[in-house]
Structure formats: C-alpha cells, structure tokens
Amino acid sequence: MARITLDTLAHSYLPAPTGEADYALKEMNHVWEDGGAYALLGPSGCGKSTLLNIISGLLQPSHGRVLFGEEDVTHAPTAARNIAQVFQFPVVYDTMTVRENLAFPLRNRGMEAAYVRSRVEEIARMIGMEEALNRKARGLTADAKQKISLGRGMVREDVNAILFDEPLTVIDPHMKFELRTQLKALHRQFAHTMIYVTHDQTEALTFADKVVVMYDGRVVQMGTPEELFDRPAHTFVGYFIGSPGMNILDAEVAGTRARVHGSEIALGERYAEVGGRVQIGVRPEFCLLSRDEGLPLRVTRVEDVGRHRIVRGETEAGSVNLTLPEGMPIEEGADRVVFAPERINVYSDDWRVTPDGRAA
Amino acid sequence: MDKTQNNRAWFLVLPVLILVAFSAVIPLMTVVNYSVQDTFGNNQFFWAGLDWFRDMLHSDRMWNALGRQAIFSAIILVIEVPLGILVALHMPRRGFWASFCLVVMALPLLIPFNVVGTIWQIFGRVDIGLLGHTLASLGIDYNYTSDPIDAWVTVIVMDVWHWTSLVALLAYAGLQSIPEAYYQAARIDQASRWAVFRYIELPKMQGVLLIAILLRFMDSFMIYTEPFVVTGGGPGNTTTFLSIDLVKMAIGQFDLGPAAAFSIMYFLVILLVSWVFYTVMTNLDRKDVTR
C-alpha cells in the first residue's frame, strides 16, 4: 500500500500539443494519502479515465511523474505497479470457472495453493458468490460477471491501490447499493488505497472519504462530501453536486452586500474587492420563499419528489431553484426568494473567493 | 406465444422451394436414380436395387480413396488452423500495414483454382520450375511426378499456400473484436502471453475458428481441381482423392451406377460432418445468449 503523488502531471493524446486546449489532462499536483478512499467525479470526457489509466500504467503521461510512496513509477509497466483495476464492463475469463477467475491473479504470482484456496473463498463470500464458485463464468449474468471482476480486483491483499473505472454502470440499481456498501466495508477492513471513477455523484459521495471533482481536464476541487456541498471551489462543483445544483447569479459584491439585478442581498462574510465576472452561488436547500423581502421570483413549476418539493422559478438575473422540506406550505402571494446569508458563496471568474472575515 | 396461422404463407416460400428443387433436389434425384439402376447403353435401364451401394461398401478402391481423403483433410486442418492463428496474432492491428497485410493475405484466395494448380505444377517442375530446379540443384531428390511423398508434400504445401489466408483472416476478425479492456485486465492480473492466448484470445475466437474449420474441412474434403492439375491423381493412385476418383469412375469409365452410389455416400459423409459442426456451433451460440 502506498501514498500516490501526482507531480506536475499532464497528458495530451496529441503528439505535439501546443496550447492548453490540446491537453486532455492539465497540469496537476496532488498527493493522495495511503489508505484513502477517493472518488474521481466528473462528466464524460473530463479526463478522469485518462488520469486513472496513467495511475494504472496503461497510459504514459506526456509530462510529470507518478510516485507510489517514494518510488517513481511513471514509466513502470502495469504489472510492476502492483495495482488492481476493475473496468466499466465486466472482464471475466469465459472458459474458467468462477473459482479459477478469482484465483487467476494469485496463481499468476505464484501464491501457495492453500492460501489461494482460502483467499478465494473469503472473497467469494464477500461478493456473495460462494454457491457459484464451480460454475463456468460463461453464461452468468452481467451482474454476476461484474461481481467476479470486483472480486478479482480485491483478491490480492498486497496491492498498492485498487482502481475502479465506473464499475457499477452495468449493475442493476438495487445491486448497486449492495455492492457499494460491500466496497465500503472492504475498504474499512483492509484499508487499501481505493480510487473510484464515476460520473454519479451519489456513488462518489457515499463511497469516498475524499471526492476529487474534475472538469475539463482539471481537478477543480478535492474535498470531503461536506466541503463540496458547503463550499464548492468552482461554479462547476456547485452545479454538478447536488440535485438540483447550486443557483448561480451574476452580482456585484462590495463588503457584506451583494447586488443582484438591483436587489440588495446580505452576505454572511465580508469580501474585499472582487474582480472578473462576479457571481454568487447558493444551494436550493438554503433558499426560502417570502412575501416581502428578497429577489422577485416567478414560480414556473413545483415538483414533488417525495421527501421534499423542488420549486423552479425565474428571477430577473436567471433561474433559481428552491428545495422546500416536506410539510412546508407555499404561502399565497409569496413571490420573492430569500437566501440564507451564511450559505452564500462568492465566485470570481468561476472560482470561489475566500472572504476576508465575518460580516459585522 | 400465440402465432397467427395462415396457410397462404406457404405461397411466399414457393419460389424458393421451386428454385431449390431445380438447382439441388432434381439433380440429386437423377443421381439417386442412377444409383439404383444398371445400364448397358442405349438408354435402357435395369433395376439394380442396393447392389451398387453394397459393391461400393466392399470396394477397396473407394475405401482407399476415402482413407487418402481423410488423411489429406486431417493434415490440412492440423497445419492451416494453427498457422492461420499464428499469422493472425502477428498481423498489425491498425494503420497502413494492417490494410497492406489484409490485401496480401487475400490475394491467394482470389486466384482461380486451376490457375493455382498450374502455378504449382510449373513451380515444382524439376526442369524449369523455380522450386523444383532449386531443390534439384541443392542435391535434393525431388520429383512430384514420380515420388508419392513428393507429390503429397507438393499438394499439401499448395493447399496451405492457397487457403491458410482464409483461416488467418477469420481469426484476425475474431481478434479484432476483443475489447481492449481484456488485455488491460490481463496485464493487471500479470497473465503470461500464453495465458492471454489461452484464456482470452482463443475463447473469443472460438466461433470464427469453428467456421474456419468447417469451411476448410468441407473444401479440402471436396478438393479436385488443384491436385488434378498438378498430379492428375498420381503417381499411381497416391493422390487420387474422392472427387478425382469419382470423376474417373463416372466420366472415365462410364460406371454410372457405382459412381452414383459413391456420390451419395460421399454426400452423406459431408452432410453428417457438417451437421455435427452445425450442432456444436448452435449450442455454443445458445450458451452465449444465456449469459
């Protein structure tokens, strides 16, 4: 097991990249702690699979270094890195039995037969496939095959890291929850460094201690689920995490006040002069409807999603969504929206501005 | 499942039935007709029953031809299938050289059979052939017209040259369909090159390889033109395979009855083997569907 360091790492699929736009992965410096559970979260094409393949050695980066512990593995072949990887679509060896599939990585490394046997049985128990151990892998369902892939990824105890590349894409929703819980339990038990690539925020937020949000080849924020929710470092994080995402409105900010399309809004913090394109962001959970204060709002739609209601509306500065807890009525004539001051974040050219201090 | 029954549907398959009747069933029936009768010319036929079949089953000539044929097909398969796989494994996967290889590989398949025979007939000649003359000047006693072993070697090498491409191209198509993730997973699992072949490539090629084996078996079992052009079935009868023997019997000696009985048994053997292949293949397909 090892700490993973990404040192000025960048990658372009082009032979002679010229500008930043040619890079699928823009230069980054990160240290991922030994034993951490990390999720790489981002939309399709943001570079998360590229990053994963660089770490696993299936791809050589154009710049920078990858270190496992103190060892530079940038140019080491996959086999020398001692990592495990689970792919998006199940990869099983069709002609082998389930048992042989699970034992394959151990046998290839010349482990003792008795150890292989007990370890395979342990893993089979975890993924719930003890019954099927002697069946041929051909003819199993996609679910079962992906469970074998997961099992094969976890069968080695001495791996530096286990990488998951959207492993639950082909799994039924009810199985997703179960497998995610099992992965989490495994992580607690063995404390492997785990890196989990996904575009599903629920998966990322439930699995990981630290979520790494990627956007356009860049890591825009790395933090706990709580940090991502409360203080998104980039408007993309605000928009991508949460359902619905953060409300983002163009504003002018001075001191502890923001002005949005002529309306004054109180901020929870004091800000020095903010340059560039200034926006404020507030999550729908911290918005309230009001009759006599706040930003004028025209409600366009109310969606009841069970535990809460989502109110969608338009202001002069753009659309705003609100999440109302169950049982909270929508008052007659409430045509304004109020933001909780301490929950407002200020952004300059999409990046979060650190406040100077608390508002007086 | 409920299906609507409508007997008018039969009219829709009628054209096909008529076509198949004229192209296959009626010619086959004339053969059946010959096989149960005897004639002394003059278009006079006498009922012979199963006599010709009985004769043929006890004919050393037929059993010998069948034996030679079986050995030939077996050798062809044993050489061409592994060789074709080996070639496919070493072909480039993409880019200019992939297309180049495909074109070069396809060339022998496009040459008419009798031209292939003529090429090798000349190629192997000791007096003027590049191969024959070179071997002779190296002091190797090679002569496919007089030495049975040399004749067999020539016919086999010719067939390998002609048809290995087919196996290679089919195997190549099978290899191309393997997702990259399988190779990546194998690298992560530290699988050896042999294990990658044994557990990934071979199982994924299984379907196309069965087709390749079936095609090569049927074609080699019916081989006529190329050995006929090169050796004419000789020296002696050593390269007289089933088709060559059949033609000799029917056209050369005008033994229509025995030749017809022979044809029918020949046809049944091919039908039987093809049926076995078909059954194996559809069973594999079914297994694939249930996964």
Q: What is the dihedral of CA A99, A100, A103, A108, to 10 degrees?
A: 180
| Residues of chain B contacting A149 with CB distance shorter than 8 Å | 185
At A194-232, the pLDDT tens digits run: 899 988 888 888 888 889 999 888 888 988 988 889 899
Q: How many domains does chain B have?
A: 1
**pLDDT of residue A28 exceeding 60:** yes
| Residues of chain A contacting B193 with CB distance shorter than 8 Å | none
At B119-173, the pLDDT tens digits run: 998 998 888 889 888 888 888 888 888 888 888 999 999 999 999 999 999 999 9
B110 vs B46, more confident? B110
| Residues of chain B contacting A104 with CB distance shorter than 8 Å | 189, 191, 199
Full-prediction pTM beyond 0.80?
no
A27-63 burial: b if 16+ Cβ within 10 Å, else e: bbeeebebbbbbbbbbeeebbbbbbbbbbbbbbebbe
| Residues of chain B contacting A79 with CB distance shorter than 8 Å | 187-188, 190
Q: How far is the alpha carbon of B288 from chain A, nearest alpha carbon, in Å?
A: 6
**pLDDT of residue A360 exceeding 50:** no
Task: For residues B38 and B44, give the distance between their C-alpha atoms in angstroms, rounded to a whole number.
Answer: 8
pLDDT of residue B85: 95
**What domains appear along chain A, each with residue ranges and CATH number?**
4-239 (3.40.50.300), 245-358 (2.40.50.140)
pLDDT of residue B286: 62
A328 vs A122, more confident? A122
Tell me the angle at which helices B60-90 and B256-290 cross, rounded to the nearest 10 degrees: 40
Range A335-358 average pLDDT: 85
In a domain, residue B102? The reply is yes
Q: Do B291 and A77 touch (CB under 8 A)?
A: no
Tell me the pLDDT band of B287, cut-offs 50, 70 and 90: low
Range A289-306 average pLDDT: 85
Q: Tell which of A55, A81, A93, A111 to mutate to test the B interface (max B CBs under 10 Å).
A: A93
B83 vs A241, more confident? B83
Question: pLDDT above 90 covers what percent of chain B?
Answer: 28
Note down the domain range covering B217. Answer: 59-290
pLDDT of residue B94: 84
Q: Do A105 and B195 touch (CB under 8 A)?
A: no
Q: Which of A12-21, A297-306, B164-173 has the lowest mean pLDDT?
A: A12-21
- DSSP H or E run through A10: strand A4-11
**pLDDT of residue A358 exceeding 70:** no
Q: How many residues does chain B have?
A: 291
**pLDDT of residue A333 exceeding 80:** no
Tell me the pLDDT band of A273, cut-offs 50, 70 and 90: confident
Task: For residues A77 and B190, give the distance between their C-alpha atoms in angstroms, rounded to a whole number.
Answer: 10
- Which domain CATH number covers B211? 1.10.3720.10
Q: How far is the alpha carbon of B289 from chain A, nearest alpha carbon, in Å?
A: 8
**pLDDT of residue A191 exceeding 50:** yes
Q: Which chain A residue's Cα is nearest to B195? A: A108
Write down the ipTM of this complex: 0.74
Q: Which chain B residue's Cα is nearest to A96? A: B199
Tell me the pLDDT band of B1, cut-offs 50, 70 and 90: low
- Which among B179, B190, B200 is the nearest to A109, CB-wise? B190
Range B61-70 average pLDDT: 88
Tell me the pLDDT band of B289, cut-offs 50, 70 and 90: very low
Q: How far is the alpha carbon of A224 from chain B, nearest alpha carbon, in Å?
A: 30
Tell me the pLDDT band of B197, cut-offs 50, 70 and 90: very high
| Residues of chain A contacting B184 with CB distance shorter than 8 Å | 56, 58, 78, 85, 87
At A112-147, the pLDDT tens digits run: 889 999 989 988 888 888 888 888 888 888 888 888
pLDDT of residue B89: 93
Q: Do B291 and A58 touch (CB under 8 A)?
A: no
Name residue, tokens 């890079």: A23
Q: Do B291 and A145 touch (CB under 8 A)?
A: yes
Range B59-76 average pLDDT: 89
pLDDT of residue B169: 94
Q: Do B188 and A79 touch (CB under 8 A)?
A: yes
Backbone angles phi and psi of A109, in degrees to 5:
-100, 10
Q: Do A108 and B199 touch (CB under 8 A)?
A: no
In a domain, residue B259? The reply is yes
